[in-house]
């Protein structure tokens, strides 16, 4: 029985890392999907958005944003959703010695021994933005 718990924990961790698809979000929020127009339902199922779509359609198509911003443009309330991704950056370092500390390409590190080998750092980048006005998508942009 003790071996079961680490296996279950590992499975849960790996499952939580899996990216959520539009279909998985539709299954999670069926009431939001049912409230959409036929055109928006079709686009959501393909993971696409277009001008005029409501917030819930974008949430189902692209998922929850990493950041939300509110503001004003030409006297109208606007909202921006930003989506971020991360890219692995591989580096190779040689360092050693008791208590040696230095600066790597993405911050400070220290070690209590010797080490040689690759390191991986995940660097965030801007993936997409969606601007809403009048309770619908006004415009959007996505990295290529």
Q: Rounded mean pLDDT of 53-80?
A: 96
pLDDT at 22: 96
- Residue spans of the domains in the chain: they are 1-64, 65-144
Q: What is the pLDDT of residues 92-134, one digit of tens each?
A: 766 554 444 555 555 555 555 555 667 888 999 999 999 999 9
Percentage of the chain beyond pLDDT 90 is 58
Query: 105 Cβ partners below 8 Å, 6+ apart?
Result: 89, 91, 121
C-alpha 103/C-alpha 107 separation (Å) is 6
pLDDT at 57: 98
pLDDT at 98: 47
Q: Rounded mean pLDDT of 64-72?
A: 96
Q: What is the pLDDT of residues 7-32, one digit of tens each?
A: 555 555 455 555 689 999 999 999 99
């Amino acid at each position: 029985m003790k071996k079961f718990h680490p296996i279950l924990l590992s499975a849960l961790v790996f499952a939580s890392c899996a990216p959520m698809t539009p279909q998985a979000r539709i299954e999670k929020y069926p009431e939001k999907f049912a409230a959409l127009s036929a055109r928006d339902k079709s686009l959501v199922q393909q993971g696409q958005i277009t001008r005029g779509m409501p917030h819930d359609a974008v949430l189902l198509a692209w998922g929850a944003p990493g950041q939300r911003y509110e503001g004003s443009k030409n006297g109208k309330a606007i909202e921006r959703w930003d989506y971020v991704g991360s890219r692995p950056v591989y580096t190779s370092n040689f360092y050693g010695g008791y208590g040696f500390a230095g600066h790597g390409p993405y911050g400070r590190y220290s070690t209590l021994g010797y080490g040689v080998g690759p390191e991986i750092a995940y660097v965030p980048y801007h993936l997409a933005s969606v601007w809403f006005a009048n309770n619908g998508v006004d415009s959007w942009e996505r990295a290529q």
